[in-house]
A and B are shown apart, each in its own frame.
Chain A
Amino acid sequence: MRQRRAKTVCRRVAAVLLAAFATLAAAEPVTVERDSVVRAEPRTDSAVVANFARGVSGEALARQGAWVQVKTATATGWLYSFNVRFGAPAGSAGEGAGAGSVLGRVFAPRQKVNVTATLGIRGLDEEDLKQAQFDGGQLEALDGFAASREQAEAHAGGAGLSATRIDYLAQPAAAAGADPGGSQ
């Protein structure tokens, strides 16, 4: 069961996984969430090539940092990834052969059916948290895995990570009314 589920997870996640790379091997469906300016290059000083209205769907071709390259029926260009949502739009059939199966339905995105109750797959819920009994043995095991600051620094050094000074983000004055991602 776990193996089957893991395989399904892998398949389902594969498309999203590819999004981590600059160029996507296969286009991923994407829906524009906010009216957005679309630029020729993934830079704010790049030329505006189009405007995508909220609700327009297309394909994500590539990702770069905060940017995603989207191709729609009318144009192709870069916009902030905050302004799009990945996956098939709500109400669509999900993807591929798995969509009709029970597991396929669970992992298919944005479907409006509530399958939680009909499936055995269920993790922690409120009741579990309320009923939880203290487990000292687990806690001691956890202590054994703790990393010292030196160990953490050694890990970072080995992975080629180095610390950089970066200020915290300024909180937007009125976040709800703010203008993320160069939208219009």
Chain B
Amino acid sequence: MKSSRRLGAIALAGMLGAVAPVKAQNIDLNRLFSIGRDAVTAVAGVSEQEEQTMGREIAGRMLGAAPLVNDAALQAYVNRVGRWVAVQGERPDLPWRFAVIDTPSINAFAAPGGYVMLTRGLYEILDNEAQLAGVLAHEIAHVVRRHHVTVMQKSAALSAGAQLAQRDNRSALVNNMIGTGAEVFARGLDKSAEYEADAIGVVLAARAGYNPFGLVDVLHKLAARGAADGSLALLFKTHPLPGERLEQLGAALTPALATLPAGRELDIRRVAAGAGPMRAAKPLPAGGARGLAEQQPAPPAQPPKGGSGIGIDPGQLLRGLFGR
């Protein structure tokens, strides 16, 4: 136990790179990490299946915090728009899931593996489908670039030294990564990841045929609301201020403006009158979704029922989360 703590401190010093109480000299971190193949896999390369398993766990928790808006046609609509935008990126065939969740907060979230959630508070201030596409495209960009995975990897790597002591316990290390997943939503990503997602989002929406400036419109809306708006509290805590994002996006967009097509704005589907949170214990996909669909939805990704893929025990995951 003592030695694992020391290793942890050494790994921490290595990751932080500079000012740390313990010097990492004479320690080859690569060699250190290569001791446990499982640890290396988890830290250096997360497979798509692992990403989906983690994302599904995180998405399930998010839905526990804020359930779906009980409007099947709306959810189906958002999935079609989102999937169409996602198809324009480098990971078109992930099992993408898009949701409008029932909270007045103005925010949107992306979890690894293709889960994108938009709050009702944000949805209701959108004017057109191009703005919806822009917001979804920003989140899709986080998934495509694996921004959250990177953050979780860093976090897990910080304690990789400790994990080496129990390297046969692969799930513990993965737990460690997922355990930080909720913190990713609460603390947010690097500013640079947000700016990158904005810049990619504009292009994905434009590729999909939408007015490229839908996301810019939404950032203007957020900027106009300002820090006093309680519904934006978490968003402002986890993202650079919208004014800064507009400035960065403006700088990135300016050289390309002449080449971007005008695109379409299109009417957005409104939330059904009276729709509240979806509350059924185990709700079936409502007829509205299938009624709209000409084809059956893609089969769902395998849920992490205790042992899929990397052998995650959900109970253990939750302990990992709350044990922090």
Chain A interface (Cβ < 8 Å from any Cβ of B): 5-6, 9, 13, 16-17, 19-20, 33-34, 44, 65-66, 80-83, 85-87, 90, 105-107, 109-116, 119, 121-126, 128-156, 159-172, 175, 178-182
Contacts and interface: CB of A to CB of B under 8 A. Distances in A.
A149 B79 CA distance: 10
A137 B59 CA distance: 12
Contacts of A110: 224-226, 228
A87 B127 CA distance: 17
Given A6-B124, A145-B75, A171 B252 contact: yes
A65 B17 CA distance: 44
B125 interface: yes
Contacts of B260: 65, 166
17 contacts: A20-B265, A82-B216, A85-B223, A85-B224, A86-B221, A86-B223, A119-B230, A129-B185, A133-B64, A134-B314, A135-B60, A138-B64, A138-B283, A143-B301, A147-B83, A168-B203, A169-B199
A16 B224 contact: yes
Contacts of A156: 84, 208-209
Contacts of B195: 175
A111 B213 contact: no
Interface in B38-82: 56-57, 59-68, 72, 75-82
Interface in B244-298: 246-262, 264-266, 278, 280-286, 289, 293-298
A179 B143 CA distance: 29
A82 B224 contact: no
Contacts, number: 335
Given A86-B223, A135-B60, A175-B251, A44 B81 contact: no
Nearest to B80: A155
Task: Using C-beta atoms within 8 Å of the partner chain, give the interface range for chain B.
Answer: 35 or more
B36 interface: no
Nearest to A29: B224
B309 interface: no
A19 B221 CA distance: 10
A111 B229 CA distance: 8
Interface of B: 56-57, 59-68, 72, 75-84, 86-88, 92-93, 95-99, 103-107, 119, 121, 124-125, 127-129, 131, 182-183, 185-186, 195-196, 199-200, 202-203, 206-213, 216-217, 220-221, 223-231, 233-234, 237, 243, 246-262, 264-266, 278, 280-286, 289, 293-298, 300-301, 303, 314, 318, 321-322
Contacts of A138: 60, 63-64, 67-68, 278, 283
A163 B83 CA distance: 13
A123 B243 contact: no
- Kindly list the 7 A-B residue pairs having the minimum CB-CB distance in the complex, ordered from nearest: A144-B285, A123-B105, A82-B250, A180-B250, A161-B209, A87-B224, A143-B300
Contacts of A171: 196, 199, 252
Contact of B234 (A123, A130, A155): A123
Given A175-B251, A180-B251, A124 B234 contact: yes
A159 B265 contact: no
In this complex, the member of A83, A137, A154 whose beta carbon has the largest number of chain B beta carbons within 10 angstroms is: A137
A147 B264 CA distance: 21
A85 B300 CA distance: 43
Nearest to B280: A137
B191 to A, nearest CB: 10
A106 B234 CA distance: 15
Nearest to B230: A116
Given A155-B80, A159-B129, A166-B259, A126 B200 contact: no
Given A124-B103, A142-B97, A181-B250, A151 B83 contact: yes
B294 A125 contact: no
A163 B125 contact: no
Contact of A135 (B67, B82, B124, B297): B67
Contact of A141 (B105, B129, B283): B283
B221 A145 contact: no
B182 A129 contact: yes
Contacts of A5: 104
B173 to A, nearest CB: 20
Contact of B84 (A9, A107, A152): A152
B217 A126 contact: no
Given A163-B208, A175-B195, A145 B297 contact: yes
Contacts of A116: 228, 230, 233
A122 B233 CA distance: 9
Given A16-B220, A106-B230, A161-B210, A134 B61 contact: yes
Contacts of B318: 133-134
